[in-house]
Structure 1
Amino acid sequence: MKKRITTLIALLLTLVMLVFAGCARQQASKEEAKKEETKPAANKEVILATTTSTQDSGLLDVLQPEFEKKTGYKLKVIAVGTGAALKMGEKGEADVLLTHAPKSEKPLVDSGVAVNYSLVMHNDFILVGPENDPAGIKEAKTTAEAMKKIFDKGAIFISRGDDSGTHKKELSLWQEAKLEPKGRKWYQESGTGMGATLNIASEKQGYTLTDRATYLAQKGKLKLAILKQGDKSLLNIYHVMNVNPEKFSKVNAEGGKAFVDFMVSKETQEIIGKFGVDKYGEPLFFPDAGKDK
């Protein structure tokens, strides 16, 4: 009898201990859940400010899903002119920048606004215009000479006029030729991206400066021919950089750095090097990551 009572007491004590342990675990789970609720969620959206050429050429249509699949981040692309993209970086309105105006990018890097500045790729600019080439620029020996022929002829020239990398390059070409076209009736500004500017030039049968990638991507619907190419002055270089979180605490620093790393990775560089070959018979961009080291 005494043995039974002892056994019963032992069982009761065990049961009480199990109940207390269960309550403790439940309370701990509630506390953990509460902590998770109050813990700030990781920022999964990465804002990319970039030039229109990366979008109009179709390159970002290929790279965006690859980046999102590889990293788990959601990429929000804002394709504007390089000037506008850099201004977004200056204001902390983007996490990462992909642009093609090295001289304009340098101040952001020097001031510490942009970090992890990395060479990504290049292609080139080309002068396109009507196939009958009324200004005769195809025979010009240099780009400066071609610009002078357009100027002297008063042939329609469609400028981006949007402070983009292409617009900056165009202005430098006029400057190199020691010419000022602004204010001339034949010199017209579209204020739009590269794709739209090409369409306007095609409709008006005018000349324009474009990156090769966008031209080739839209060539089928344009009545424009490549008339001047190959000069060193027409080289088009792209860099990627993320906005410094020490300057702007709200930027997604980890996401921005993830995009920089993605763009210079071996796998992405291989994609860039092959992009366009199947459709146009030549790559639209040439991978350059690491060549500036």
Structure 2
Amino acid sequence: MIRVTLVCLILFVPGCINSPSLENDDTFILATTTSLRDSGLLDYILEEFLIESQTNLKIVAFGTGAALNLGKKGDADVLIVHAPEKENQFIEDGFGISRTTFTYNHFVLVGPRNLDSNLNIIDAFNSLESECFVSRGDFSGTHEKEQAIWQTTNHTLNEDERGIFPEIENYFSVGNGMAVTLTMANEMGCFTLSDRATYLHLKPKLDLKMTEFTDEILMNPYSIIQLSTSKEQQSIAIELETYLTSNLVMNKIENFTINGEQSFFVA
């Protein structure tokens, strides 16, 4: 029997979110991912930009699917997201103008014990047949990557409004952000797929062990997307992109660590 649990919390699930307030015409809205915000990287690299530009910046952090929806509705002025296939489709559909990758890290598998790192990620997922697995289930970049990995495995798959998932008994879809998913996996003794930075940020509070793999599918690029729906604030969006791809920011990314470990890399 498949056990799938769905918890829909308003702030994180596409279709269940409220758009950010656009009451102040001079507010510049950056819709981004929870991992960039929660890791502390975003605040760290934006310090000089905010001082120099005097931009009235509002950051709203969701999963990538929800951030892209904000861009489609014109409720954001620029995006920083991490689901390349969805981003390219977003641009092809006419909502975005350009996509520029400026940093990356990797997805990691975390759980109650380390797995053999000599395995590849497909073999690792295949080995979870009798294990407990917690999925974000929120159509974020992490959830999109998880679904892509399941599709390369030997598991029998199902698909419904929660996405694609394996036919294993203890699979839980929580419809929430990475921090909540990691906390649930920790409490339940389950495995989950995480971006490296959020895991490192929460590692002191978790008993979960991280296994890293070298598979190309685990590459996790973060890109800034210029929006066709953002006209009045487009000059600021372009200024932000120029800043994020500058040598200053590249050096800041290289020097950014979480609990002593480098968590992002220059693209």
Choose 227-236 or 266-275, whichever is displaced more: 227-236
User: Deviation of residue 72 (structure 1)?
Assistant: 0.9
CA contact (8 A) 1:44 1:255 kept: no
* Greater share of residues in helix: 1
Query: 1:248–1:237: structure 2 CA closer, same or farther, 3 Å change rule?
Result: closer
Q: Distance in 1 between matches of 2:230 and 2:42?
A: 26
Q: Distance in 1 between matches of 2:99 and 2:211?
A: 34
Cα RMSD over matched residues? Answer: 1.9
Name the counterpart of 1:287.
266
CA contact (8 A) 1:138 1:228 kept: no
Give secondary structure in 2 for the equivalent of 1:78: strand
User: Deviation of residue 257 (structure 1)?
Assistant: 1.8
CA contact (8 A) 2:82 2:223 kept: yes
For structure 2, the 5+ residue unaligned runs are 1-23, 158-164
Name the counterpart of 1:18.
none
Instruction: Please state if 1:217 is matched with 2:217.
Output: no
* Greater share of residues in strand: 2
Q: Distance in 2 between matches of 1:186 and 1:173?
A: 18
**CA distances 1:14-49 after superposition (whole Å, capped 9, x unpaired):** xxxxxxxxxxxxxxxxxxxxxxxxxxxx95421111
Choose 176-185 or 117-126, whichever is displaced more: 176-185
Name the counterpart of 1:117.
99
Query: 1:139–1:257: structure 2 CA closer, same or farther, 3 Å change rule?
Result: closer
For structure 1, the 5+ residue unaligned runs are 1-41, 289-293
Structure 1 stretches of 4+ with a deviation exceeding 6 A read none
What TM-score comes out, normalization by structure 1 length?
0.75
User: Deviation of residue 285 (structure 1)?
Assistant: 0.6
User: Deviation of residue 283 (structure 1)?
Assistant: 1.7
Q: Distance in 1 between matches of 2:52 and 2:98?
A: 20
What amino acid sits opposite 2:124 in the alignment?
Answer: A
Q: Give the structure with higher Rg (CA).
A: 1
Query: 1:229–1:195: structure 2 CA closer, same or farther, 3 Å change rule?
Result: same
Instruction: Please state if 1:195 is matched with 2:179.
Output: yes
Q: Distance in 1 between matches of 2:132 and 2:202?
A: 20
Instruction: Please state if 1:150 is matched with 2:128.
Output: yes
Query: 1:43–1:258: structure 2 CA closer, same or farther, 3 Å change rule?
Result: farther
Q: Distance in 1 between matches of 2:139 and 2:70?
A: 13
User: Deviation of residue 252 (structure 1)?
Assistant: 1.8
Query: 1:258–1:139: structure 2 CA closer, same or farther, 3 Å change rule?
Result: closer
Instruction: Please state if 1:243 is matched with 2:221.
Output: no
